[in-house]
Amino acid sequence: MGGKILIADDVATNRIVLKVKLGAAFYETMQAASGVETLANARASRPDLILLDVEMPDMSGIDVCRLLKADPVTRDIPVVMVTAFRDMDRKMAALGAGADEVFWKPLDEVVLLARLRSILRAREAAEELGLRQHTYRDLGFAEPSEGFARPARVALVFRDAATRTKWADELRPYLTDRLIAMEPDEALADPSGAPPPDVFVIGADLSESGGGLRLMSELRSRHGTRHAAVCVVLPSGAADTAAMALDLGANDLIEVDADPAEIALRIRMQVTRKRQADRLRENLEDRLRLAMTDPLTGLHNRRYATAHLARMAERAMETGRTFALMVLDLDRFKTINDTYGHASGDAVLVEVARRLSARLRPVDLLARIGGEEFLVALPDKGLREATAVAERLRRAVADRPVALPHGQGSLSVTSSIGLTIGQAGAGGISVEDLFHSADRALLAAKHDGRNQVTIGRSAA
């Protein structure tokens, strides 16, 4: 399933229609008919997203949103609000209460589904960063204090100077951040020592059709700007372009004739989220370098992996999801050290670590837990998907020889992998038992001839 969505609407027909549409897009749905029921279900079930009508029978949907955001248990759940009234004051109130988006009825299914995908992707990334942050805290690393927040840099990228000037003049009364008018070429130019913009506001159609989307894709591919927030400005009714922009990585969509106060509010929301993500990334990188990495390969070490696996198991139990755990061991590694020396053995380990990292997602865990032993954990993966990943990792090690240092040529290396699946259940998930299951599967792979993937009994 694509995620669990709580549909909160007092009209049963509306809930049923949305359930059918979301089910066809592979979302799991649950329903609530009142504000009180919405709050209770959100607390009890922790959905991935809440689709909330502004008009509820017992309280305003905006008040429901405000209460959700005030509760530590539910505050991180994204809320998308829906209303039949094209009332800008109501829309601004909903956004101000913490809603991620507000849609008018009737809903455009293409844009709605694209927006849900975009929000859920962002939530998954933020959730994983937060999970790693908690792991570090559990290991005794103090939370650093927040420094002074400089004004954000907001780039206004449109094809003509008059439009850039107009947007800057209209937004300036609502923002204390630095507004920078840019031509498209300037957005891609080397900033010459200046920090890159925190937010890009890009006209969807620059010098030619689709130019804004190509610019956004280019910004996403560059090191200096890939973490910047991108808001794409669209004419009303451009549903296909809107969906494409979201699927290509836009953080938000802005209608070209939107009120400046709404545009400024959306920009401030993106600045806040980017700074939170930046802070998490910086903290994690610093702490990783301190004590959580293997000095040879740069991967996580056993200490970090053990703590992070425990938290991954906790989350799996809370959400009812599964995760995959595998142990990978290089075949006959002692022979490499004995024959070619430890420098060659180190070179093999470094290259294998690089190949494994290149074939895993950012949310996956890869650690070196022993001399030639690696651990891989894949959140939200079942047996079939995890087996395919394990085979891909095995081939990555075996398919190409590893170059050895000091002119010693190259060497073919293979690996054996033991795989098991962590299942959510009433009794909880024992990480120790899962690790032993993967380790036994690894031994079976070695015994049966090496260079293969073996599945632990608990996963079969």
Average pLDDT over residues 101-124: 91
**Measured between alpha carbons, how far is 101 from 115 in angstroms, rounded to an integer?**
8
Q: Who contacts 24 (Cβ-Cβ below 8 Å, separation ≥6)?
A: none
Q: pLDDT tens across 300-330, in order?
A: 999 889 989 988 888 888 888 889 999 999 9
277 pLDDT higher than 90: no
Q: pLDDT tens across 365-410, in order?
A: 999 999 999 999 999 899 999 999 999 999 999 999 999 998 899 9
Q: Which of 294, 314, 292 is nearest to 303 (CA)?
A: 292
- Per DSSP, the residues of 18-78 read HHHHHHHTT-EEEEESSHHHHHHHHHHH--SEEEEES--SSS-HHHHHHHHHHSTTTTTS-
Residue 372 annotated in active site: yes
Average pLDDT over residues 27-45: 96
Tell me 293's DSSP state: B
What global pTM score does this model have?
0.60
SS3 content of the chain, % helix, strand, coil (to 5): 50, 20, 35
262 pLDDT higher than 70: yes
**Measured between alpha carbons, how far is 408 from 52 in angstroms, rounded to an integer?**
65
**Measured between alpha carbons, how far is 215 from 212 in angstroms, rounded to an integer?**
5
Q: pLDDT tens across 192-222, in order?
A: 677 899 999 999 776 566 688 889 989 988 8
Q: Who contacts 22 (Cβ-Cβ below 8 Å, separation ≥6)?
A: 5, 7, 29
Write out the two tokens for 410: 């190259």
pLDDT at 426: 42
Within 13 A of 122's CA, how many CA atoms are on the CB side?
28
In 3-state terms, what secondary structure has residue 311?
helix
In 3-state terms, what secondary structure has residue 82?
strand
Name the catalytic one among 101, 128, 351, 372: 372
- For residue 171, what are the CA distances in angstroms to 120, 256, 273? 29, 13, 20
Rounded to the nearest 10 degrees, how much is the dihedral formed by the CA atoms of 440, 441, 443, 449? Answer: 160
